[in-house]
Chain A
Amino acid sequence: MVGYLFLTILVFSIAAFFVGRSAGNRFVATNGVSTHSLPGYHGAFVAVWVGVPALVLLLLWLMAQGSVIDNMLLSTLPATLTEAASAADKNLLLSEIKNVAAGRIFAEPTPEITAAAETLLRWQQIASWLMVVVVVAAMLLAMFFAYSRLAPRFRARNGVEAFTSGIMIACSIAAILTTIGIIASLIYESIEFFKLVPVHEFLFGLRWEPQIAIRADQVAGNGAFGAVPVFVGTIVIATIAMLVATPIGIFTAIYLTEYASDRVRNIIKPIMEILAGVPTVVYGFFAVLTVAPAIRGAGNLMGLATSPNSAIAAGGVMGIMIIPFISSLADDAIRAVPRSMRDGSLAMGATRAETMTKVLLPAALPGIMGGILLALSRAIGETMIVVMAAGLIATLNINPLDSVTTVTVQIVTLLIGDTSFDNPKTLAAFALGLVLFLVTLGLNVVALTIVRKYREQYD
C-alpha cells in the first residue's frame, strides 16, 4: 500500500513536470524571449510542488499513525484491563493485540483482546485509505496552486533554485546532526563510565584488566581500568607505522614529481591508488599470515625473542597502508610550489636534487607536515589491521618485537560477547572512544590549519 503510494507520488510529479513544461512551452511560443524561465524550470517548479509536500506529508503520517492508533485502541479497551496497568504492561497488551491481529496466536486470547484486534485491523484499513486520500488530495491541491502561479514573467527558475538550495541545506544539516549525535552519545556514556571509574585512574592508571564479571554467576577478576598501557601500545604501533610510511611516502612523492618520466608516473600512480583502495581487512590477514611469521622467523634467526603478533608486524603493515596518504599529499604540496621557484633555482645552476632539498622541500614542508599528521590520525584510528595482527593483552612495554594492544583493539574486545550497558567494562569502550576521537580530531584540526595556511602563501 505504502509502496504504491510512493510510486503514485513519483508518477504524479513526473506528470506535473510535463504539464508545467508544456505551459512553459506555450509561454515561450507566445511571448518569446521575454519569458522569464525556460520551460523546463516551469515543469520542475510544478513537479517539486506536487512531489515534495506530498512526500513530507506521507512520511509524517507514517510516523504518527502507529502511536495514534495505539492510543485510540487503549482507550477502547475495558477499564479493567488498563486502569492499573503500567506503561510496560500497556505495551505488552498492545503487542498481544497486534500479534492476534497478525494471526500469531500463541494462547487462546480473551474475548476483549480478540475484539480489540478486530478493531485494530479495521482502523488500520481505514487509516491507510485515509492516507491515500489525503496524500492525493494534497498533490492535486499543490498542483492547482503551482500551476495557477505559472505565467510568462513568473520566476520559476528562482523557485527551483531556492528549492535546490533548501535540499542542500537539509543534507548538510543531516550530516551535522549525526556528528553532534555521535559526540553527544560518546560524552554521555563516558560520563557514566567516569562515575564508576575516576578520570585520573583511567588516564594515568598502569593496569588495564577490563575482564570483569557481568553476570553474578561469572568468574572473573575485579578489573582495572588504567588505560596507559593501551595508549602506549597505540603510540608504539602508530610510531612504527609512521617510521615506515613517512620516508617511503615522501621519497615516492619526490620521485614522482621531479624524476619520474610521464610513462613511469602513469604506471606508479594507479598502483599507489590500488594500495589506498585495498580493504583494511586484507591488510590485516597479510599482517597475520605473511608479515608476522616472517618477522618472527627473522627474529629467531638473530636470536631475538619475537612474539607471534609483534607490534612491528601490525605497525609495519599499517605503515604500508598509509603510504598513499603521505605520498599524495606530499605530491600535491611539492606541485603547489610555483614553477618559478624551481626554474629560479635551476637557472642558478643548481642540480635537481639541490633544487629539491634546498628550495622545493622547504617550501612544501607545511603541506607535507599536514599530510603526515592526517596519516598519523588515520594510523591511530585504524582498527582492522590491529584487531587481526596486534595483541589483546595490555602489557606496558615499548619493545616493537613484543605484542602490544591498541585503543581500537580494546574497544572492539570490550564490545563483543556478553555486554550490558551499565557496567564499567562496556562503558570503558566509550571512554576510550572519546579519547581516540579527541586525539584524532586535534590532529586533523592542526593538520588542516597547517595545510590551509600554507596554501595561502602562493595564491
Chain B
Amino acid sequence: MNAMTENKGSTLVAKPDQVVIPPTVAMKGEDVSVFYGAKQALFGVNLEIERNRVTSLIGPSGCGKSTFLRSLNRMNDTIDICRVTGRITLDGEDIYDKNLDVVELRARVGMVFQKPNPFPKSIFENVAYGPKIHGMVSTKAETEEIVVSSLRKAGLFEEVKDRLNEPGTGLSGGQQQRLCIARAIATKPEVLLMDEPCSALDPIATAIIEELIDELRENFTIVIVTHSMQQAARVSQKTAFFHLGKLIEEGVTEDIFTNPVNKQTQDYIMGRIG
C-alpha cells in the first residue's frame, strides 16, 4: 500500500522540495449542507479526508464540526429533523445513495464519542459487540483473539487483562474512552471518526490517547474534532477550520497553524474568537 510508505515521512515534516506522493482520498464531501429543521447548520462544505492521515476539525463551539462528523457515517439519520444535501463519498461511493446499507456503512466508518459510552456489559462483551453482530467471528477463540488485539491496539489490554469479565462502566474515564476506541476498531473500520475524544479526560489520559491516535493512523483513516489547538497540531496532518457552519480554511496542519491564509482562521488560532 503506497499510502503506508508515504506515511513514514508525514506531511508534517515533509520539506517542500521533497517529492510527496499524493495521498489517496478515503472520503470526500462535496457541497455538503446540513439542516436541522429550518435551521441550516452547514453551508456547502467541500473537504477531502485522506487515507491513513489524521484530519482534525477545529472551530468555535456550534460551528458545525460534530454535524459534519456525524454526516460522514450518517449518524445524523438518528435525528428526525436532520436533512443532508450534497454528496459524500466513501471510496468514490455515494454514502447517501438509496441502495446503500447504512448498517454496513457504519461498520466501515466507526465512531468514538465525546463522552465515553461503554455499554453496561463486561469489558470483553463491549469489544466483542461489533465483531459479533457483523458475523466477523464464529468461534470463541476468534472472538477472544479480536478482543485482545483490539484492546492491545487501544493500549488498554495490560490494564484490564485480569478483569475482562467485569463491567466496562467500572473503568476510569480514560480507560472507558480507550475501551470505546477498542470497541470501535474491533470491527476494523476503514475510517474512524472521533468527536472530542479527550474532552472528558485528564492530561495523562489525553497523552495516552494522542499517542494511540498516532499509532492507529497506520491502519486507519482518522477524523478528529478537537477544541485544543495543541492537540490538533500534535496529532493531525491535515486541519480544517469551521466557522458559523462554513469551512473557512483547510490544509496541511503545519501551514494552518504557522501561516493561515484567512483572517478568521488566524484570529481563532490566536485565541481571538471562539
Chain A residues within 8 Å of B, Cβ to Cβ: 262, 338, 340-351, 354, 358-359, 362-363, 457
Q: What is the interface residue range for chain B against chain A?
A: 20 to 34
Q: Is there contact, CB below 8 Å, between B103 and A363?
A: no
Looking across the interface, which residue of chain A has its beta carbon closest to that of B169? Answer: A457
CB of A173, distance to nearest CB on chain B (Å): 41
Chain A residues with CB below 8 A from B130, complex form? 348-350
Which one of A342, A348, A351 contacts B187 once the chains associate, using CB atoms below 8 Å? Answer: A348
B245 within 8 A of A: no
Chain A residues with CB below 8 A from B134, complex form? 349
B209 within 8 A of A: no
Chain B residues with CB below 8 A from A348, complex form? 106-107, 110, 129-130, 133, 183-184, 187
Chain A residues with CB below 8 A from B187, complex form? 348-349
User: CA of A358 to CA of B120 in the docked complex: distance in angstroms?
Assistant: 10
Q: Is there contact, CB below 8 Å, between A345 and B103?
A: no
CB of A190, distance to nearest CB on chain B (Å): 44
CB of B116, distance to nearest CB on chain A (Å): 9
Q: Is there contact, CB below 8 Å, between B75 and A345?
A: no
User: CA of A323 to CA of B214 in the docked complex: distance in angstroms?
Assistant: 54
Q: Is there contact, CB below 8 Å, between A350 and B133?
A: yes
Interface of chain B residues 92 through 149 with chain A (CB within 8 A):
103-108, 110-111, 113, 115, 117-121, 129-130, 133-134
Chain B residues with CB below 8 A from A340, complex form? 113, 115, 117
Chain B residues within 8 Å of A, Cβ to Cβ: 73, 75, 78, 80, 103-108, 110-111, 113, 115, 117-121, 129-130, 133-134, 180, 183-184, 187
28 contacts between A and B (CB under 8 A): A338-B117, A341-B117, A341-B119, A341-B120, A342-B78, A343-B117, A344-B113, A344-B117, A344-B118, A345-B119, A346-B106, A348-B106, A348-B107, A348-B130, A348-B133, A348-B183, A348-B187, A349-B104, A349-B105, A349-B106, A349-B108, A349-B130, A349-B134, A350-B103, A351-B103, A354-B133, A362-B120, A363-B120
Given known A349-B187, A351-B103, contact A344–B75 (CB-CB < 8 A): no
Chain A residues with CB below 8 A from B111, complex form? 347
Looking across the interface, which residue of chain B has its beta carbon closest to that of A262? Answer: B80
Q: Is there contact, CB below 8 Å, between B75 and A347?
A: yes
CB of A353, distance to nearest CB on chain B (Å): 10
CB of A457, distance to nearest CB on chain B (Å): 7
Looking across the interface, which residue of chain A has its beta carbon closest to that of B104? Answer: A349
Which one of A262, A349, A362 contacts B103 once the chains associate, using CB atoms below 8 Å? Answer: A349
Q: Is there contact, CB below 8 Å, between A346 and B75?
A: yes
Given known A347-B110, A349-B130, contact A362–B117 (CB-CB < 8 A): no
Chain B residues with CB below 8 A from A338, complex form? 117
Chain B residues with CB below 8 A from A349, complex form? 103-108, 130, 133-134, 187
Other A-B pairs beyond A343-B78, A346-B78, A350-B129, 4, CB < 8 Å: A340-B115, A340-B117, A344-B119, A347-B106
- 5 nearest interchain CB pairs? A349-B107, A349-B106, A340-B117, A347-B111, A344-B117
Chain A residues with CB below 8 A from B106, complex form? 346-349
Looking across the interface, which residue of chain A has its beta carbon closest to that of B184? Answer: A348
CB of A239, distance to nearest CB on chain B (Å): 30
User: CA of A347 to CA of B133 in the docked complex: distance in angstroms?
Assistant: 12
CB of B33, distance to nearest CB on chain A (Å): 22
Looking across the interface, which residue of chain A has its beta carbon closest to that of B106? Answer: A349
Chain B residues with CB below 8 A from A354, complex form? 133
Chain B residues with CB below 8 A from A343, complex form? 75, 78, 113, 117
Which one of B73, B75, B113, B121 contacts A362 once the chains associate, using CB atoms below 8 Å? Answer: B121
Looking across the interface, which residue of chain B has its beta carbon closest to that of A348? Answer: B130
User: CA of A457 to CA of B187 in the docked complex: distance in angstroms?
Assistant: 28
Chain A residues with CB below 8 A from B184, complex form? 347-348
Chain A residues with CB below 8 A from B180, complex form? 344
CB of A361, distance to nearest CB on chain B (Å): 11
Looking across the interface, which residue of chain A has its beta carbon closest to that of B111? Answer: A347
Looking across the interface, which residue of chain A has its beta carbon closest to that of B180? Answer: A344
User: CA of A344 to CA of B129 in the docked complex: distance in angstroms?
Assistant: 11
Looking across the interface, which residue of chain B has its beta carbon closest to that of A363? Answer: B120
Looking across the interface, which residue of chain A has its beta carbon closest to that of B132? Answer: A358
Q: Is there contact, CB below 8 Å, between B73 and A347?
A: yes
User: CA of A347 to CA of B110 in the docked complex: distance in angstroms?
Assistant: 6
Chain A residues with CB below 8 A from B105, complex form? 349
Given known A347-B111, A348-B183, contact A358–B117 (CB-CB < 8 A): no
CB of B200, distance to nearest CB on chain A (Å): 12
User: CA of A354 to CA of B133 in the docked complex: distance in angstroms?
Assistant: 8
CB of A345, distance to nearest CB on chain B (Å): 7
User: CA of A363 to CA of B121 in the docked complex: distance in angstroms?
Assistant: 9
CB of B110, distance to nearest CB on chain A (Å): 7
User: CA of A393 to CA of B136 in the docked complex: distance in angstroms?
Assistant: 60
User: CA of A157 to CA of B184 in the docked complex: distance in angstroms?
Assistant: 58
The residue in A338, A343, A347, A457 that gathers the most chain B C-beta atoms within 10 A of its C-beta is A347
The residue in B108, B119, B134, B183 that gathers the most chain A C-beta atoms within 10 A of its C-beta is B119
CB of A427, distance to nearest CB on chain B (Å): 50
Chain B residues with CB below 8 A from A346, complex form? 75, 78, 106
User: CA of A354 to CA of B106 in the docked complex: distance in angstroms?
Assistant: 14
Q: Is there contact, CB below 8 Å, between A345 and B129?
A: yes
User: CA of A347 to CA of B103 in the docked complex: distance in angstroms?
Assistant: 8
CB of B151, distance to nearest CB on chain A (Å): 16
User: CA of A258 to CA of B213 in the docked complex: distance in angstroms?
Assistant: 34
User: CA of A347 to CA of B186 in the docked complex: distance in angstroms?
Assistant: 13
CB of B52, distance to nearest CB on chain A (Å): 21
User: CA of A120 to CA of B119 in the docked complex: distance in angstroms?
Assistant: 80
CB of B251, distance to nearest CB on chain A (Å): 28
CB of B125, distance to nearest CB on chain A (Å): 9
Looking across the interface, which residue of chain B has its beta carbon closest to that of A364? Answer: B120
Chain A residues with CB below 8 A from B133, complex form? 348-350, 354, 358
User: CA of A362 to CA of B120 in the docked complex: distance in angstroms?
Assistant: 8
Chain A residues with CB below 8 A from B78, complex form? 342-343, 346
User: CA of A345 to CA of B106 in the docked complex: distance in angstroms?
Assistant: 10
User: CA of A359 to CA of B180 in the docked complex: distance in angstroms?
Assistant: 15
